[in-house]
Amino acid sequence: MPEGPTRSLIVANRTEPEPFQRMIENLFIGQDIGVAEELVDGYDDNTVLLLEEGEIIAASPLQELQDSILMVNSDLFITGTRDLEETEVPAVLDGLADHPFTLRGYPESNTEKLLLILISRHIERLAYEHGAGTLRSSFQRLSRVRDERGTRRVYDKIAGTDVDVHLYGQPDWRPEPDFPITMHAGYKYDFKYSWFVVYNPPPGEADTFDQAALVAIEKEPRKWDGFWTYDQGLVEDVARHIRWNL
């Protein structure tokens, strides 16, 4: 995984109750990202600041973090309660691209894995809105696409565009013939333990299309090492590895 610069968060001029501060701290517990609280001139109350090497590079209202990640759970994405078009990533979270994370899933943590789930939906929305290019996503078990109503709805919508969609995982489900998605199944390590969502633009359109990749590996049961990136070269490298090895 890439080694990013030193980053930290400040909750500036907080007037919201103390539990919201603790929620942000818990979201990044165990990460190399400090979370502090300060009075900062020039910013509205309850503004979250992202610092890189001590310099402010992004700011988001605390309310945006509440709506996107602090006051939600994974069921919101799994059941499809929140539409794909409603997925919003606050600037202070989006600015954490290329930073390595180690995240725990349920029951060890109810919140840490949410960050990667949110970014996964963000990349899926990117593919949907562009409506062209290639999206490659892994699910460890292909049956999750069938069983998670929200996930199936997302991929039905993306498949309704001109995006070339490829799904990867262990072969415990055979989709119906009219599901216009290419399935890749196997039992190799990458099929069983990787979590990726990779969007590449159409050939020759890299300079005009956004692109992104999220990659995580389940190193231990329910414990993930991962990162996401918008770097064109790195996104292409990830896609190339998937094409050649899965």
pLDDT at 107: 59
- Structural tokens at position 55: 């310099």
pLDDT digits (tens, 9 = 90+) for 82-112: 788 889 999 999 999 999 998 887 656 657 7
pLDDT digits (tens, 9 = 90+) for 223-239: 899 999 999 999 999 99
pLDDT digits (tens, 9 = 90+) for 32-42: 999 999 999 99
The full set of domain ranges for the chain reads 7-245
Helix and strand element counts for the chain (H, E): 9, 11
pLDDT at 208: 77
- CA 168 – CA 84 distance, rounded (Å): 21
Instruction: Check whether 2 has a pLDDT greater than 60.
Output: no
Q: Is the pTM of this model over 0.85?
A: yes
List Cβ neighbours of 246 (8 Å cut-off, separation of 6 or more). 168, 184, 186, 188, 190, 191
Full DSSP string of 127-144: HHHH--SEEEEEEEETHH
Question: Which pLDDT band holds residue 152 (cuts at 50, 70, 90)?
Answer: very high
Characterise 113 by phi-psi region: left (phi > 0), alpha (psi -120 to 50), beta (else): alpha
pLDDT digits (tens, 9 = 90+) for 178-188: 899 999 999 99
The candidate with the shortest Cα–Cα distance to 50, out of 5, 114, 93, is 93
Helices 149-159 and 114-130 cross at an angle (nearest 10°) of: 20
CATH architecture, domain defined by 7-245: 2-Layer Sandwich (3.30)
Instruction: Check whether 3 has a pLDDT greater than 70.
Output: no
Instruction: Check whether 81 has a pLDDT greater than 90.
Output: no
Instruction: Check whether 80 has a pLDDT greater than 70.
Output: no
- Of all residues in the chain, the percent with pLDDT exceeding 70 is 96
